[in-house]
Amino acid sequence: MTPSDRGYPPRTAARPGDAAGGARGGLNLPGLRSHNAAVVLGLLREAAGGLSRPELAARTGLTPQAVSKITARLRAEGLVEEAGRLASTGGKPRTELRLAAGAGYAVGAHLDGEALTAVVADLAGRTVAEHAVPLDLGPPVPEGLAAMERELRAAAVLAPGRVLGVGVGIRGPLDHRTGTLHGVTGYPHWSGCVLREELERRLGLPVAVDKNTNAAALSVLVAEAGPGGGSFAYLHLGTGLGAALVLGGELYRGGAAGAGEFGHQVVQLDGPPCRCGRRGCLEALCLAAAARGDTGRAAYLLGVGAANLVALLDVDRIVLGGRTVLAAPDAFRSGVAAAVAPVPVTSAAPRATAEGAALLALAPFFATAALP
């Protein structure tokens, strides 16, 4: 990835050499420093077709003159394009505008401890390329960071246009606000690593970091539930067990960004030790059942935990994901469904975490209810 591929980091001022260039040149986006411009882009992103300037003015509450200035700037920056013209009652045709989805791309990556799965997504959130390789978080942290940099660069090369940012979904607990890892489950040597800062320095791109479960839930919210409504719990069973909560159409992280440590609810007081230090955690029991090939028992235990969540939060549905679930999706869906009926149980897409991580990277460009 060369400096010309970097794009404009929304959190900082434009840097020397980042003036607008060719198809893969750097991008200076002054319009994105405006909240109103982000609102307009968010509405165009969510629109099935296009929106006219009068429609944008009505939905934003901005004056027609302000909308015209914003959309002119966004068109000049290549982020908005004409979708067509419609006849109007006044006799003058209305020009409809739409998001220019190919104007920029984001890389979203899922680091599950053993592999890196990455996607390249356009501004509309559609996946246009994939990259997956083994990547073990076990080596010393500097070696792990170097491996992440190498594979994220390899994914970015697959983008057909300028890359605007990178999102990473990784095991928690962590602080998504600073991108700092806190005692990553199974990999405690990563505790204290400011992953966002490290990757931004190495890649020269803005980076977003969040728990893998939160990234996957965001992907489900945008793709299935839509912004503004719905409550569900996303349960992720892979090399660990975690959850994410979407309440009232918004991702809920908790006051200290620690919500969703679902696997460490104690369900057997005299149970086996868990790597968190407690005994009888749901994660330890589920992983032990899965390791011995007892999928039915693992699904039953996951259902026990899911039923606790349903009783506590009255969510509309349960969404399942993670490597272990994807290996036997029908068995896990039926096992959990038996415990939470009549609440429906569905499965997330295999790339949900990576796709959600790409959405996190794109979030600064849009002001929508679905993107945090």
Which of 152, 195, 153 minimizes the C-alpha distance to 170? 195
What is the SS3 assignment for 148-163? Answer: HHHHHHHHHCCCCCCE
63: left (phi over 0), alpha (psi -120 to 50) or beta: beta
- Same domain (yes/no): 328, 273: yes
| 246 inside domain | yes
| 23 inside domain | no
| 33 inside domain | yes
| 55 inside domain | yes
Which of 48, 70, 49 minimizes the C-alpha distance to 61? 70
User: At what angle are helices 35-46 and 53-60 packed, to 10 degrees?
Assistant: 120
**Residues of the chain falling short of pLDDT 70:** 1-33, 86-92, 224-229, 257, 368-371
- Same domain (yes/no): 292, 323: yes
User: What's the rounded Cα separation, in Å, for the pair 32 and 20?
Assistant: 14
CATH number at residue 96: 1.10.10.10
In the chain the beta strands, taken as DSSP E runs, fall at: 51-52, 80-86, 94-99, 105-111, 115-122, 127-134, 163-170, 174-175, 180-181, 207-211, 232-237, 241-247, 250-252, 317-321, 345-347
CB 363 within 8 A of CB 371: yes
Confidence (pLDDT) at 83: 84
- Same domain (yes/no): 135, 206: yes
Confidence (pLDDT) at 70: 94
- Same domain (yes/no): 342, 359: no
- Same domain (yes/no): 252, 321: yes
- Measured CA distances, 178 to 192, 198, 359 (Å): 11, 11, 18
- Same domain (yes/no): 195, 116: yes
| 19 inside domain | no
| 170 inside domain | yes
- Same domain (yes/no): 54, 108: no
| 201 inside domain | yes
Would the CA dihedral through 358, 184, 242, 302 be positive or negative?
A: positive
Confidence (pLDDT) at 239: 84
- Same domain (yes/no): 66, 33: yes
Task: Using the 3D structure, point to which of 77, 102, 127 is the last residue of a domain.
Answer: 102
What secondary structure letter does DSSP report for 126?
A: -
- Same domain (yes/no): 344, 295: yes
- Same domain (yes/no): 248, 211: no
User: What's the rounded Cα separation, in Å, for the pair 243 and 213?
Assistant: 6
What six digits make up the tokens of 173? 């607990």
CATH number at residue 326: 3.30.420.40
- Same domain (yes/no): 232, 342: yes
Q: Which domain holds residue 45?
A: 28-102
Number of domains in the chain: 3
Task: Using the 3D structure, point to which of 87, 102, 117 is the last residue of a domain.
Answer: 102
- Measured CA distances, 44 to 72, 136, 312, 354 (Å): 14, 39, 37, 23
Q: Is the pTM of the predicted complex or chain greater than 0.95?
A: no
Task: Using the 3D structure, point to which of 59, 77, 102 is the last residue of a domain.
Answer: 102
Rg, C-alpha atoms of the chain: 22
Confidence (pLDDT) at 183: 79
- Same domain (yes/no): 211, 358: yes
CB 27 within 8 A of CB 7: yes
